[in-house]
Amino acid sequence: MPPPYQDILDHILIDSERLQRRIAEIGNEISEDYRDAHSLVMIGILKGSTLFLADLMRQIRVPHMIDFLAISSYGSGARASSGVVRILMDLRAPIEGQHVLIVEDIIDSGYTLDYVLRLLSTQQPASLSICTLLDKADRREVEVPIKYVGFQIPNAFVFGYGLDIDEYYRNLPFIGVVKDGVNLTQEHE
């Protein structure tokens, strides 16, 4: 069993109220930007974007569809992307001619989103943009054009509100920072 989140939490970086306020602002921006679009497909990158996508889509006032990609670039207990990207689940519907908004939980190195952009652009969408809840720009190795950013965050290992540690803690209503020195790969009883 994993430890209670309090045992690994250094501090809360972004509380629930601040998250919801910013998501409402992003929803307004997207609604305005896509008000004349004939179609909008929001593609959530699983699993981390699930909570963000659910809250964000409730704030968007233009008709839209959702789809999902499951991508892996982290190993078990990893604090950073491995740089090796694998597609675990592809889109269910074609996006040709659609306005596409990729919804991600966090962007750090940029490798994953660079790969996703190149992959989706081959399907000839009308437009292709990125929305991320968290941008860890200090870790960027590959530049990606992010249109909507929830929060710029420091180079710290964060969890909660969709972001996991070995698949746990996604349910927390806030973004927390992991304590320094916590061994995330050790077995918990």
> Does the residue 108 lie in any domain?
yes
Model's pTM, two decimal places? Answer: 0.87
User: Which domain CATH number covers 41?
Assistant: 3.40.50.2020
pLDDT-derived band of residue 188, with 50, 70 and 90 as boundaries?
A: very low
CA 90/CA 125 separation, integer angstroms: 16
Q: What is the pLDDT of residues 123-151, one digit of tens each?
A: 999 999 999 999 999 989 999 999 999 99
Question: 158 lies in which domain range?
Answer: 5-72+85-178
Number of domain units in the chain: 1
> Does the residue 48 lie in any domain?
yes
> Does the residue 113 lie in any domain?
yes
pLDDT of residue 83 exceeding 70: no
> Does the residue 185 lie in any domain?
no
- Has 108 been annotated as catalytic? yes
- The residue among 65, 107, 100 whose CA lies nearest residue 85 is 107
- CA separation (Å) from 80 to 53, 77, 98, 108, 127? 23, 9, 32, 8, 30
> Does the residue 127 lie in any domain?
yes
> Does the residue 100 lie in any domain?
yes
> Does the residue 186 lie in any domain?
no
- In the set 67, 108, 135, 180, the catalytic residue is 108
> Does the residue 169 lie in any domain?
yes
